[in-house]
Structure 1
Amino acid sequence: MANQGTTREATKLLIVDDLAENLRALNAVIRADDRVVYQATSGEEALALLLEHDFALAILDVQMPGMDGFELAELMRGTDKTRHIPIVFVSAAGKELNYAFKGYETGAVDFLYKPLDPDAVRSKVNVFVDLHCQRMEIRRRVEEQQATMNELRAAQEEMRYALRMRDEFMSMVAHELRTPLNTLFLETQMRKMQLDRGNLEAFGPEQLAGMVARDGRQIQAMIRLIDDMLDVSRIRSGVLSIRPCSTELRNILQRLTSDLARQAADAGTTFELDAPEAVQGCWDEFRIEQVIVNLLTNGLRYGGGKPVQVRLTATEAEARIDVIDQGPGIAEDMQQRIFLPYERGQGNGVPSGLGLGLYISRQLAEAHQGTLTVHSKPGEGSVFTLTLPRGETAEA
C-alpha cells in the first residue's frame, strides 16, 4: 500500500518485512512529501509490486517466512526490470551470523542491523533517492535528445522529400507544357513551309478550321495546366474562393459528358449517364464543373477502355454524383495518396498531367462543405463519389 498525498512524479520506495510494526516504524523514518512508500509483508507480495513499479530503492528484511530477503534479492537480480534497483538489507540477527557478507554477495548496496538508527537510515535513503532522481533526469534528457534527433531526421527527410517533389514537379511541368508547345511549333513550321512554297490551297476554309481547332486544343491544355498550378497556390495560401449560386447538376452532367464524348471515343469507350431527375442546389457552377471534369477524365484515363458510368442521385439534404470505372482498381494503401498533390497513376496511354486534379477536386468539394471519396478494390474498378449539401453554402 502507498502513502496518500503523493504526486505522480514522486520517487517510489519499497519496504518489505513480515511484521506490520516494523513496516510502520520504517515508513515513519523514510517517508517525505516527494516520495511514495510501498509496503509488502512477503517476498511474493514484493515481487508483484516490483514488476508493476519502478523503485528507487528496496529495503528488505532478511528473515521472513517463506521467501526470505536473500531469495527475493536473487530473483530481483535475475529479472531485467528489477536488477538495477539498489537493495538494502535489514536484519535483527547478530553480526556473528555474517549475514552482511551473504547480503553483499546477492548484490546489496548496504546492510543494516536492528535496532535501526533513524538518522543513519534517513541519510542513506536520501542518497539513493538523489541518485535515482539524477538517473531519471539523465534518462529524461537522453530521451529529449533522442526525440529532438528524431524530429531533426524527420525534418531532414521532409525537406529532402520537398526538394525531390519540387524537382519532379518542375520536370512534370516542363514535360506537360512541352507536348502542346511542340505540337504548336510543328504546326507553325508546317504552315510556314506551305507559305514558302506558295501553296495557298493548304489554307482553305476546311483546312483553316482544322488548324484553329488543333491550336485551340493545345492552348486549352496549357491553360488547364497553368490553372491547376494557380489553384494549388490559392489553396495553400488560403485564398481559394467559391461563389455559390443556384445550380442544376443534371444539365451540367449532360453537357460535360457530351463535350468529352470525343475524348472518350479516342480512349475507346463511352459515358453511360444515369440522371433521371434534375437536382438543384446552391453551388459554384464553375468549380463543380471543374471537379466533375476531373472525375470524368480520370474515369477515361484509368477505366481500361470500358464504359464509364456516371450516376446522379439526391435526397432533400444532399446531392451525390458517382463516377464508376471498370479499370484495374486502386490498392488500399494508395486510396488516400491519390488525393495528395503530384500523385499520378499510369493509365491507358493518356497523359497523366501534373497529378493535381484529385487534390484540387477534394479541396473544392470541402470548400462546398461536401466530400470527395473513393471506394475501390484491385481488379474491381473504382467508384469516386462527390457529395454536396443542397442548402446555402458560405463563401470559403
Structure 2
Amino acid sequence: MSDQTDEANLLIVDDLPENLLALDALLKAPGIRVHQAESAEQALELLLRHEFALAILDVQMPGMDGFQLAELMRGTERTKQIPIVFVSAAGRELNYAFKGYETGAVDFMHKPLDTHAVRSKVSVFVDLYRNRKRMARQLEELERSRREQEVLLNELRRTKAELEDAVRMRDDFMSIVSHELKTPLNTLILEVQLRKLQLGRNNLAAFTEDKLRHMVDKDERQVQSLIRLIDDMLDVSRIRTGKLSIRPTEVDIGKLVASMVENFAPQMEASGCPLLFQRPESLIGVWDEFRIEQVVANLLTNAMRYGAGKPVQVSVSRQGESACVEVRDQGIGISSKSLERIFCQFERAEGSESSAGLGLGLFIAEQIVKAHQGCIQVESEEGKGAVFRVLLPLNAGA
C-alpha cells in the first residue's frame, strides 16, 4: 500500500498474543498504524482514544466475545460507523458468519487467514476511510468558503448601502448648498445691479448717507450668511477627516454665554423671541472658547428659527463636575421621528423647509461637544417647544 497523508488506525482484537503479532506483521504498511487488544475491555479503551478505519475482531474470546463487542460498538455513536471484520478458527458448521453479519459485520474470515485476501480487504477499507476523510475535509472547506463568501456578500451589501447613502447625502448636500448659497448671492447680485443702474443714470441722489448705511448693513448680513454657510461646510470636512481643532483655555462659561445672549438679543427681539437670561456666578472650565461659542450660537439660532415668536430661556449652571448650558424655546417642537436623526448631517426638523441653513448646525454642535468629552441632549414634543442641554466636563481640556 502506498504512503498516504491520512494515517489510518486499525484495531485487531484477539486473546492470543501470537495471533496479534502475526496479524500485526501482516497488516503493517506505510500510513497504517495497528493497535492491538487482547480483550474486549482493552479494545473499548482504545476505541475511546482513537479513530479507526477498520476493526478486526476474533470471535472466541474469554469474557466478552467478539459478537458482544460488536454489538457494543454498534450501539455507541462514536464507534457505530467503524467497519467490523470477524475472524474465527471455528468450523463453518457453527454458522458464525451468519451471526457476525447479524451484528453488523462487513466481512467474516476463517483461520488460517489468506495473506493476500486479508491485505486486499484491509486496503479497500483503508482507501474508503481515507476517501471519507478527504471528502469530509472538502466539505469543511466548502462550508468555510461558503461562510466566507456569505460574510463578503454581507460586507458588499453594507458597502453598497453605505455608498447609496453617501450618494444620496451628496445629492442632498448639493441641492441644499445650491439653494442656500443662491439666497444671499442673489440678493447681493440684485443690489449690485440696482446700484449699477442708478450710477448709469447718474442718479447720485439714490446714495444718501442713510441709504448707504442701509445698503452696507444689508450687504454685511448677506456676506455673513455666506461666511456662515462656508464655515459650516469647512467644519464638516474637518470633522470627517478628524482635523477639527480644539484649543482649550480657561473660560468663564457664564460670561461667554452672557456675551452670546447680548449679541443675539437684537435679532431675537426682531423675530419676536426675546431672550430671558440671568447671568450666573462665575463658572470656570477648560474649553475651546471659539468652539463653545459656535455651539451656543447654533442653539440660539435654532431657537430663533423654530421659536414661533415666543420667549427663549437660556441658563448656565453647574451639575456635578460639569457645566450645563440650557436653551429652552416654546416653539413648534420636534416630532419623535425627527428626534432620532436631528444630530445627523443635512437634517432639518419637519416644517423647517423654508428655514435657512444646511442642516449642519446641530451635527457640528454635537461633534464639538463630543470633542470636549461632553454630551448634548434634547427633549421635545410637537407643538410644545424644545429644550437643548449641553453638558461639558469642567476639566475637558486636560
TM-score interval, normalised by the smaller of the two chains:
0.5 to 0.7
Match of residue 219 from structure 1 = 223
Stretches of structure 1 lacking an aligned partner (at least 5 in a row): 1-20, 35-60, 74-84, 104-110
Segment of structure 1 superposing worse, 373-382 or 202-211: 373-382
Q: Residues 249 and 279 of structure 1 are in contact (CA less than 8 Å); yes or no, is this contact kept in structure 2?
A: yes
> What whole-Å deviation, never above 9, does each CA across 1:252-280 have from its counterpart, x for those lacking one?
32332333234334544332224433322
Say which SS state the counterpart of residue 348 (structure 2) adopts: coil
Map 1:291-310 to 2 at 5 A: 291-310=295-314
Query: Cα gap change, 1:263/1:87 in structure 2, threshold over 3 Å: closer, same or farther?
Result: farther
Segment of structure 1 superposing worse, 119-128 or 162-171: 119-128
**Pair 1:28-2:46 in alignment:** yes
Map 1:47-86 to 2 at 5 A: none
**Pair 1:150-2:154 in alignment:** yes
What is the distance in 2 between the residues matched to 1:32 and 1:281? 70
Amino acid at match of 2:254: R
**Pair 1:187-2:205 in alignment:** no
Query: Cα gap change, 1:348/1:142 in structure 2, threshold over 3 Å: closer, same or farther?
Result: closer
Which of 168, 171, 179 matches 1:175?
A: 179
Instruction: Quote the offset at 1:204 in angstroms.
Output: 1.5
Match of residue 28 from structure 2 = none
Instruction: Quote the offset at 1:220 in angstroms.
Output: 0.2
**Pair 1:273-2:277 in alignment:** yes
Q: Residues 372 and 393 of structure 2 are in contact (CA less than 8 Å); yes or no, is this contact kept in structure 1?
A: yes
**Pair 1:369-2:387 in alignment:** no
Could you tell me the percent identity over the aligned residues? 42
Query: Cα gap change, 1:380/1:122 in structure 2, threshold over 3 Å: closer, same or farther?
Result: farther
Query: Cα gap change, 1:95/1:355 in structure 2, threshold over 3 Å: closer, same or farther?
Result: farther
Say which SS state the counterpart of residue 366 (structure 2) adopts: helix
**Pair 1:245-2:263 in alignment:** no
Amino acid at match of 2:46: A
What is the distance in 2 between the residues matched to 1:254 and 1:161? 40
Q: Residues 301 and 350 of structure 1 are in contact (CA less than 8 Å); yes or no, is this contact kept in structure 2?
A: no
Amino acid at match of 1:137: E
Amino acid at match of 1:182: N
> What whole-Å deviation, never above 9, does each CA across 1:199-224 have from its counterpart, x for those lacking one?
33322121111111100000000001
Stretches of structure 2 lacking an aligned partner (at least 5 in a row): 1-38, 53-68, 87-94, 110-117
> What whole-Å deviation, never above 9, does each CA across 1:60-106 have from its counterpart, x for those lacking one?
x9989xxx97xx99xxxxxxxxxxx9984999998869997xx9xxx
Amino acid at match of 2:183: T
What is the distance in 2 between the residues matched to 1:336 and 1:156? 23
Query: Cα gap change, 1:340/1:158 in structure 2, threshold over 3 Å: closer, same or farther?
Result: same
Aligned residue pairs, count: 323
Q: Residues 274 and 309 of structure 1 are in contact (CA less than 8 Å); yes or no, is this contact kept in structure 2?
A: no
What is the distance in 1 between the residues matched to 2:323 and 2:245? 21
Which of 298, 303, 316 matches 1:312?
A: 316
Amino acid at match of 1:202: A
Match of residue 327 from structure 2 = 323
Query: Cα gap change, 1:63/1:326 in structure 2, threshold over 3 Å: closer, same or farther?
Result: farther
> What whole-Å deviation, never above 9, does each CA across 1:134-156 have from its counterpart, x for those lacking one?
32221111111111122122212
What is the distance in 1 between the residues matched to 2:233 and 2:226? 11
Instruction: Quote the offset at 1:316 in angstroms.
Output: 6.4
TM-score by length of 1: 0.67
What is the distance in 2 between the residues matched to 1:350 and 1:278? 39
What is the distance in 1 between the residues matched to 2:331 and 2:289? 29
Amino acid at match of 1:388: L
What is the distance in 2 between the residues matched to 1:215 and 1:240? 30
Alignment RMSD: 4.1
Say which SS state the counterpart of residue 314 (structure 1) adopts: strand
What is the distance in 2 between the residues matched to 1:112 and 1:304? 91
